[in-house]
Amino acid sequence: MTMPAILAGSEWRGALAALVFAALSTVGIFAGGADAALTIGLAAVLLLAGIPARTTPALDRSLALLAALFILLLWVGLLWSIAPQRTMRGALQMTGLLVAALVLIGEREPLRRSADLIFRVALGAAIVGSALAFFDFVTGHPIMRHVLAHPELPGVLDTKFDRGFTYESVLIWPIVAAGWAAGRRGLAVAALAVLAAALAMSHTDAARLAFVVGLAALALAALAPRIAAGALTLGVALAVATPVFVAAFARQLIPLANGVKHSFAHRLEIWDYMTGRVWERPLLGWGWWSAQAVPIRSEELARYLYVSPAGSPHPHNQWLQLWVETGVLGALLGTAFALIILYRALKLDRRHRPFALACFAAAMVPSLASFDLGADSWWCTLAATGLLWRLLPAPPERR
C-alpha cells in the first residue's frame, strides 16, 4: 500500500482522535491548558491527512459565517482600539483559534467509522481521569506536584484544577450521551459519579456549579424538554443583559459579597467598573483584548477593596467582555452563536437531547464568571465537544 493510500485511510485517524480525547479527560484535568495543543494538533493532522485524498473539512456554514464576522469585527476594531498592539495580537490569536475550531468540527466524515471506538475510549478515560484526580486530592496531590513546575506557590494547584475540571464539566456530556444511548449506562453513570466525587474534593467553584447546573438541566430536559429549552433561552437573554444587572445590583452586593468570599467581591468590583466602560462606548467597544487598558475612575477606586489602578486582564465574564471590547455588535454575534447551538441541541433526537441541553447549561456557567473569552484552551474545549456531538450516531429512523 502506498503512503498516500495509508494517509487517506480513516482507521489511523480514528485511533489518533481516540487518543486525543482520552488525553483531554485525563491529562486535561491536571493541565487544562494542554487542551489547546491537543485539539489544534489533531485538527492540523486531520487537515493535512486529507490532502492526498483531496478532501477538505465540511465547514459548518452558519458557524463559519459567524466566525468570519467576528474576526472581521476584531480586525476592524484596530481603528478605534485604545490598545492596538494588544488588539492585533488578540485578533491574530482568535483568527487562528476559530479557523482551527471550524476545521476540527468539520472533520466528522473521516472519523465517523471510528466513532464507537472514540466514544468507548473517551468514556473510559473520563472515569480514569476523575478517579486519578480524586486520588490526588485524598493523598496530598502527589500527581499534580509532579506536573507543576512550582506547586508550592499559593493558589497554583487550585487554578490548574479549576481549568481542567471546568473543561471536563463541559466535555463529559457528549461522552455520557453516547454511552447511555449505546447501552453502556452503568459506565455513563459511573463517569458522572466519579467526576462528582472529584469535584466535591476540589475548590473549583465554577466547575462544581457548572456540573450541578448541567445535572439540573439534564433532569429538567428529560422530564419537560420545552420548559428546559425556555429556561436556557431565558438564560442566554439574561447573560446578554449582564451590564444592565451589574449596573443595577453590583454596588449594593459588593459589601455583602466581601463578607462571604473575597474572590466574589473582587469579581463584583471588576464587573462594576467594566460596566461603566460599556456605557461609554456601547456601539463599538474599546477594542479586542483592551480590557486591561480601560481607564478606572478615581471615584471607583475609592470604593474598591481589591481592584488596583493596574485593573484586570479581562472582565471575568465573557458576555461583559464582548460588550466592553466589541460593543453591541460583538454581543449580538455572541448571542447568535449561543442560540444556534441551543437550537441544534433541541433538534437532536430524544436520546441525546437532554444531555445536549445539560452540556449547553454547563458551558454557560463559566461564560458568566470565568476565563478570558480569548483563552485558547476554552475555545479548543468547545471545538472538541462540538466534534463529539457531530460524531453521535443518528437514530435508526434517520439513517
**Cβ distance 319 to 349 under 8 Å?**
no
- Give the span between the Cα atoms of 378 and 168, in whole angstroms: 11
Contacts of residue 163, defined as CB under 8 A and 6 or more positions apart, other chains included, come to 32, 33, 371, 377
What is the domain range of residue 124? 3-55+62-239+327-392
Q: Is residue 397 part of a domain?
A: no
- Give the span between the Cα atoms of 65 and 35, in whole angstroms: 25
Predicted pLDDT of residue 141? 82
Predicted pLDDT of residue 11? 85
What is the three-class DSSP state of 249? helix
- Give the span between the Cα atoms of 179 and 71, in whole angstroms: 36
Count Cβ atoms below 10 Å from residue 132 Cβ, excluding itself. 18
Cα dihedral angle (32, 33, 37, 43), rounded to 10 degrees?
60
Q: Is residue 309 part of a domain?
A: no
CA-angle at 174, arms to 190 and 380, nearest 5°: 115
Q: Is residue 270 part of a domain?
A: no
Q: Is residue 209 part of a domain?
A: yes
Q: Is residue 216 part of a domain?
A: yes
Specify the DSSP class assigned to residue 60.
-
Q: Is residue 175 part of a domain?
A: yes
Digit-coded pLDDT (tens) for 169-210: 999 999 999 999 999 999 999 999 999 999 998 888 889 999
User: For residue 394, how far is the Cα from the chain centroid?
Assistant: 25
**Cβ distance 55 to 116 under 8 Å?**
no
Mean pLDDT of the chain: 90
Q: Is residue 370 part of a domain?
A: yes
Q: Is residue 255 part of a domain?
A: no
pTM (whole model) above 0.75: yes
Alpha-helix residue ranges (DSSP H) falling in 50-114: 61-76, 84-105, 108-112
Predicted pLDDT of residue 2? 43
φ/ψ region of 371 (left if φ > 0, alpha if ψ in -120 to 50, else beta) reads left
Q: How many domains does the chain have?
A: 1
